[in-house]
Amino acid sequence: MAQNIPDVVEKPKITSAEFCKLTIFNDFADPNDTTTHTFSSSYQEEVIDGQTYLPMGGLLEVGAQNRTLSVTSDDTVIALSGISGNNIPIVLGTKIRGSEIEIYRGFYDDNLVLGNTYLRFTGIITSYAVEEQREQQNDIFTVAVSASSYKTVLENRISGRKTNEESWKFFDPNDTSMDRVYSIAGKQFDFGKDPSGRSGNNGGSQGGGTGNAGNSGDNVIIQRP
């Protein structure tokens, strides 16, 4: 959907910053058990929707997002460099994979006052990488996370039910439709045919002719005058 941004209308110079909101789910069974981290490429603290975004300045690098009008499956990378080792547990000590990431872009006026912010990307973190560089006696770390858009996540989602008892009863414990699947698993079964493998009908005399009573599976011979 096209969106008008009045903050950049008739502005010869545009000053903006990226604002990232990372929501880590500590317990997937409890969606309310979360930890939120907010940071930005701004050089001063900003409060957006009651949350304070820490200023990272040039230490924060946000990958480009596709700006097409249609929904895309592009990924993006967020890199934070020059951080100390005390911040590494945020990545290694939490369930950061599967966390939700939201990226906003905010615009400043001529007095460097933040105006409106606009949501640019919403996705899920799929992978991360930690790099270490040593300068003299100091260790400098760089953390980069890759995030996939929700469209990619939905495309890779496996839905539906399998034809087994466990999958069927996951939705309805009283459903017995697949209880006997295991008894025929691995066996050849031709639906619509006699399971005994025999065919034929009991025969008898017809019309004025004579006939022999045939058993199931026997050929019946009928004599006609």
**pLDDT tens figures, 70-86:** 555 667 888 888 776 67
Per-residue pLDDT, 172: 81
For 45-54, what is each residue's pLDDT tens digit?
999 989 999 9
For 84-119, what is each residue's pLDDT tens digit?
667 777 777 778 888 899 999 999 988 888 888 988
> Exposed, middle or buried, 112 (CB in 10 Å: 0-12/13-18/19+)?
exposed
Q: What's the token pair of residue 135?
A: 């300068």
Per-residue pLDDT, 84: 67
